[in-house]
Amino acid sequence: MTYATINGNACAAFELHVPAVGPWWADVDCTEAPALSGAVSARAGSLVLAGTVDAGAAGTFGLQARLRLVAGGGGWGRMLAAKSYHNDAGVSALLVAQDAAREAGETLGAFAPAAARLGADYVRQSGPASRVLEDVIGGVEWWVGYDGVTVVGAREELAASHGAYELLEADPRRRVAVLGVDDLLLVGVGSVLSERFDAPQTVRELVIEVSPDVSRVHVWTGDSRRSRAASAVRAIVERASDRKLHGLWRYRVIRMAGVEDNTRVELQAMSRDAGLPDLAPVSSMMGIPGVAATLTPGTEVIVQFLEGDRTMPRITGYVGKGGPGFVPVELDLASSGGAPKAARVGDAVRVTIPIGSFLTAASGGVLNAAPVDVDGTITAGSEIVGIG
């Protein structure tokens, strides 16, 4: 017989939910009405759990305390203030995650994100601490252990030992099963179940029910590492938004492709993970009236699809100073083609002096009868305009 207690107080009912990603939680009915708040320790058979009472989901009814216990500090849903990070070598993902954990009252353990460093800048929006964590770890799984410590990284998958469970019920259509388990530590998320199953099944999430009369483990063994609810919501969102293509996408210039005005560009996608192809040809929107550029091959640019329309890709952004291809091959200002060229300090120039501009014979007052070309170099220019 498995019994559950919380801070030593007996429980009439104990239901522990362990999702694939995120913190576990437990709904607890005590046999009496002890005053419980803050950090507590719960036991369910061999399981020992460190969590925090959710003050917004706790109270009494019929002389019984009823409450919800949330993993760790119960703070991953806490709202954090906005914060900015900068590091020319790349902002550390661990630093951002540690800050979020500390401000949320959580403990961060093993940390294996998709990338150790983010870009040179990271802007944390105000919002739930969990959103910050999920953003900086790059799609890697995260979860809170029974000890209340948050782990970033895939759960280990291990075959359940022989005799660890008794299969009481199974529905292969919904990929759910009900197990009888004497030692609740023997089956968890990541356990691979084989006995009495047609094929090995990996537990992705589970619910443990404990009462004075019985203990049961309900498991879901779907293909996704996300929870059933998260998978369903994601599918709905993706289906609702797949007709529009919003966002900013990085591309690299292959070559200029315009036949007449040389203003369209062939582009190579810089991230295949986005599922976008190379583009040719694409028009530019420089963002400044009267400006057009012949871009240097290799230049990094930003592409947007106007109004989310997949038929209207446009270049709307360009790499900053010092970036690949910052200096274009040619830049036209207020030119419709064939306009006069600009000159810079140090450029060689030719100046034509028109007829009748200077004396060719001082004694007779004879002016030059023909234009005269003079070659030279520009030695001074504007103090407020620079041309590369």
The pLDDT assigned to 378 comes to 85
Q: How far apart are CA 162 and CA 59, in angstroms?
A: 41
Region of 365 (left: φ > 0; alpha: ψ -120 to 50; beta: rest) is: left
The pLDDT assigned to 363 comes to 65
The pLDDT assigned to 234 comes to 56
The pLDDT assigned to 371 comes to 85
The pLDDT assigned to 262 comes to 59
pTM: 0.69
The pLDDT assigned to 373 comes to 86
**pLDDT beneath 50, residues of the chain:** none
